Amino acid sequence: MRGYALHRVLAPGATLLGDGAVRGRLLDLGRYPALVDGAGRVRGEIYRLDDPELLPVLDREEGYNFERRHAIVTLANGRRARAWVYRYRGPQNRAVPIPDGDYRRVHPLQENVNGDDRR
């Protein structure tokens, strides 16, 4: 998402289509959010990848506890589309549920004098 650390990897090769949502549950793992299967809605941003070489780079950044797969997403204008999402496959014993699926509400961006963004 804009302003969070992985955006620096995504931004050069992708175009923001807007806010959107996907079916699932959102967990707070401390430093970053995790999408898992569930009946809720998880909010985020939808991007079009302009550079297909970006997918393996994103895979490496997400790490081994995440699996990239297709899902149906709903954009803010109501349009539905098929998109890649990363589902978390790691341990959940220390994860804190985010019931409304909005990571930005729980971890709002804060200015950081070191230039480090959150994930």
Q: Which domains are delineated in the chain?
A: 7-95 (3.10.490.10)
For tokens 């341990």, the residue is: 91
Instruction: Give the H or E element holding residue 39.
Output: strand 33-49
User: Model confidence at 110, in pLDDT bands (50, 70, 90)?
Assistant: low
From 19, 69, 20, 22, select the one nearest 41 (Cα to Cα).
Answer: 22
pTM: 0.84
| CB distance 34 to 16 below 8 Å | no
Rounded percentage of the chain residues whose pLDDT exceeds 70: 89
Paired with 33 in beta bridges are 28
* Residues forming beta bridges with residue 87, ordered by sequence position: 35, 67
